[in-house]
Amino acid sequence: MSSRPAAAGPSAETGRRAPVGRRRRGGWPAVEAVAAVSFAFVLSEILPVGLLPAISGSLGVHTGTAGLLVVVPGLVAAAAAPLLTTAAGRLDRRHVLLALAALISATGPLAYASTATAPRCSSSSPSTGPP
């Protein structure tokens, strides 16, 4: 018997044998990373929907006006998606995912800092209907 390990079976894509001891990239950790980042992206876009009445009340604006907090980022995402896909077509997807995850992670502290330094509105409660 030979002490040499047997080569792996032929690859479905190339028909060549894969080298022994070499692992495939990706797998479940990659799927979990994409799922976690997708969850964070969607949560940051959808979370304000449930808070619109409270946000509009604290800002003294109509709920429909506060709804622009959801509409505008959605429109920007719809316009940016094809552009980003085209621009990042030749880049490593992992690097693009990490860059976008870092960008969305930075928006939380920036939003907090903007509310901490924003001037306070002193208005009465908003009206619920048109004037």
What's the confidence (pLDDT) of residue 117? 72
What's the confidence (pLDDT) of residue 14? 59
Per-residue pLDDT of the chain (131 residues; tens, 9 = 90+): 555 555 555 555 556 665 555 556 668 888 888 888 888 878 877 888 888 899 889 888 999 898 888 888 889 889 998 998 898 888 888 888 888 888 888 887 888 888 777 666 555 555 554 44
The amino acid at residue 116 is A
Q: Which helix (H) or strand (E) holds 24?
A: none
What's the confidence (pLDDT) of residue 17? 60
Q: Which helix (H) or strand (E) holds 56?
A: helix 28-59
Whole-model pTM: value is 0.53
Environment class of residue 37 by beta-carbon count within 10 Å: exposed (0-12), middle (13-18) or buried (19+)? middle
Q: What is the dihedral sign for C-alpha 35, 41, 45, 49? A: positive
What's the confidence (pLDDT) of residue 82? 92
